[in-house]
Amino acid sequence: MSEWLIRHAHMLDLSAGVDYTGDILLENGCIAQIGPFLSRRGCRTLDADGLCLAPGLVDMHVHLRDPGLTHKEDIESGCEAAAAGGVTSVAAMPNTAPAADSPETIRYILEKASHAKARVLPVAAITKGLTGKELTDFEALKRAGAVAFSDDGCPVSTAYFMAEAMRRAASMGVPVLAHCEDKTLTRNGLIHEGAVSQALGVPGVPAAAEDVGTARELSLSLSTGAPVHICHVSTAVSVQMIRAAKKMGAKVTAETCPHYFMMTDEKLLACDADYRMSPPLRPERDRLAILEGLQDGTIDAIATDHAPHTAEEKADFVKAPNGVIGLETSLGAGITCLVGQGVMSLPELLYRMSSVPARILKAPCGTLREGGIADIMLFDPQESWVVEPARFHGKSRNSAFKGLRLQGRVQYTFCRGELVYQRA
């Protein structure tokens, strides 16, 4: 284990009340000391003049594609992309092959992740094979190391199973992460149903496909008293329903993703499948509602829904699977769009990308405290850069951020006290 003394960094962490320029000492995988001035001989030093230092980001919505779909991504490559994006923990979604519905698969993920450049927090399937027909063994999956339950990608179609999943997960103190979608409304829709789908003459997905799902999960949470986390919120109506449910006392938390606050369905006019994901990009009024939801705290966290697919799969606009990658661009997108446009302060953004998701997942990270784990990242808040997917560290290139200019760039990432990324 190496020791590191990082000096002159602007340290930022709302959860620990840290906002000053000083030094931090990493020892045995932990934060040994933080202060305005530290001295220590014999350890490696890093001069962080001009850089901000924050808890490593915790991305609570990532598809690592491992086991089974490793031509798109695997645990190693996904964690490499995470490290390059300043992300030190990723919640790995269960729509793998096989699905993460057995203790063996959870153990496989954790074993492979033990050598990776980020921590992997496995999310187990709610139903066997993500088929919506039979609940998995929650107790055994939690014992194997699952931190949450979700059928993301194949949302649980019957309310009964979802209610039962919420009750069971609540009794175990583990969150349910809900991909809200009524597939009977999605049908064969490719993009948001509206002016753009009409102009292109392609089948649309109505906003109601998401909203009906959101309404169901909020109602179930209210009636069972169990917590629920709403994934990738993209519509104005869902934001308003979540806001109302919170006022009614529901134990609900929510996330959105950078593509929903940064772009609209006009991107689809290019007929490029790199802008297709589920839920789809929406019109400007929804984007503005997402910004409001972020601003007033209705939307608690920011995650990426990093969903790698190959260039071959994405080549056909109509046949391509849904999903965009995001691990290497989320911090820059947040700084550019949310901090740059005054939606929230930089410390608040970092908090919503690290401490808040860590709290929802009950993971012992996302904070700068002496004795805490040494998962941290350093970034230059001023550096402006253009997104070039060819330079990404993951296996896939399906980024909706390609060609965009972003502000704020990760320079160093430490996970478990080890340097796992340094910008070349």
63 touches, from Zn ion, ligand DOR, none (C-beta below 5 to 8 Å by class): ligand DOR
Alpha helices in 225-345 (DSSP H): 236-247, 258-262, 284-295, 311-314, 330-334
Which partner, ligand DOR, Zn ion, none, binds residue 176 by CB below 5 to 8 Å per kind?
A: none
State in angstroms the smallest separation of the CB of 64 from ligand DOR.
10
Interface with Zn ion, residue 265, by CB under 5 A: no
From CA 340, how far away is CA 153, in angstroms rounded? 32
Binder to Zn ion among 72, 119, 179, 259 (CB under 5 A)? Answer: 179
On whether the CB atoms of residues 378 and 410 are closer than 8 A, the answer is yes
The CA distance from 424 to 156, in Å, is: 43
Q: Which of residues 360-399 bind Zn ion (CB under 5 A)?
A: none
Residue nearest to ligand DOR (CB): 323
Kindly state the smallest distance separating residue 189's Cβ from ligand DOR, in Å: 13
The site partner of 372 among ligand DOR, Zn ion, none (C-beta below 5 to 8 Å per kind) is: none
Whose Cβ is closer to ligand DOR: residue 219's or residue 322's?
322
Pattern of binders to ligand DOR over 197-236, x per CB under 6 A? ----------------------------------------
352's CB contacts (< 8 A; 6+ apart) are 294, 300, 301, 302, 344
Determine if 152 is a binding residue for Zn ion (CB under 5 A).
yes
Give residue for tokens 């606009």.
317
Distance between CA atoms of residues 272 and 320, nearest Å = 10
Choose between 13 and 66: whose C-beta lies nearer to Zn ion: 66
- What gap in Å lies between CA 179 and CA 367, rounded to an integer? 27
Which residue from 46, 54, 177, 277 is in contact with ligand DOR, where contact means CB under 6 A? 277
Smallest gap from residue 93 Cβ to Zn ion (A): 7
Report helix, strand or coil for 243: helix
229 binds Zn ion (CB under 5 A): no
Q: Does 152 bind ligand DOR (CB under 6 A)?
A: yes
Give which of 126, 119, 181 is closest to 322, Cα–Cα: 181
Measuring CA to CA, which residue among 21, 7, 23, 93 is closest to residue 370? 23
Return the DSSP state at 15: G
Nearer to ligand DOR, 323 or 366 (CB): 323
Q: Binder to ligand DOR among 245, 307, 333, 400 (CB under 6 A)?
A: 307
Pick one of 10, 63, 282, 416: the residue that binds ligand DOR (CB under 6 A): 63
Q: Pick from 22, 94, 258, 323: which binds ligand DOR (CB under 6 A)?
A: 323
**38: helix, strand or coil:** coil
Answer for the pair 394, 355: CB distance below 8 angstroms, yes or no: no
How many binding residues for ligand DOR (CB under 6 A)?
11
Which is nearest to 397 in space by CA: 280, 297, 307?
307
Which residues 14-53 are close enough to bind Zn ion by CB under 5 A? none
Residue 154 C-beta: closest distance to ligand DOR, Å = 8
Q: Give DSSP secondary structure letters for 87-127.
A: EEEEEEPS-SSS-S-SHHHHHHHHHHHTTSSSEEEEEEPSB
CA 213 to chain centre: 20
Torsion sign over Cα 105, 108, 113, 114 = positive
- Binding-site member from 15, 77, 88, 95 for ligand DOR (CB under 6 A): 95
- Hey, which residues between 100 and 129 contact ligand DOR (CB under 6 A)? none
Place of tokens 């999903």: 323
Name the pairing type of β-strands 52-55 and 4-13: parallel
Would you say 97 or 244 has its CB closer to ligand DOR?
A: 97
Identify which range of 36-44, 77-85, 144-152, 372-380 contacts Zn ion by CB under 5 A.
144-152
Is 179 a residue that touches ligand DOR (CB under 6 A)? yes
d(Cα 239, Cα 290) in Å, to the nearest integer?
Answer: 7
In sign, the C-alpha dihedral spanning 360, 345, 369, 114 is positive
- Stretch of 117-125, 150-158, 187-195, 375-383 lying at the interface with Zn ion (CB under 5 A): 150-158
Q: Respond yes or no: is residue 152 known to be catalytic.
A: no
Catalytic option among 23, 305, 316, 375: 305
Residue 95 binds: one of ligand DOR, Zn ion, none (C-beta under 5 to 8 A by kind)? ligand DOR
Binding site for ligand DOR (CB under 6 A): 63, 95, 152-153, 179, 277-278, 307, 321-323
* Residues labelled catalytic: 305
Binding site for Zn ion (CB under 5 A): 152, 179
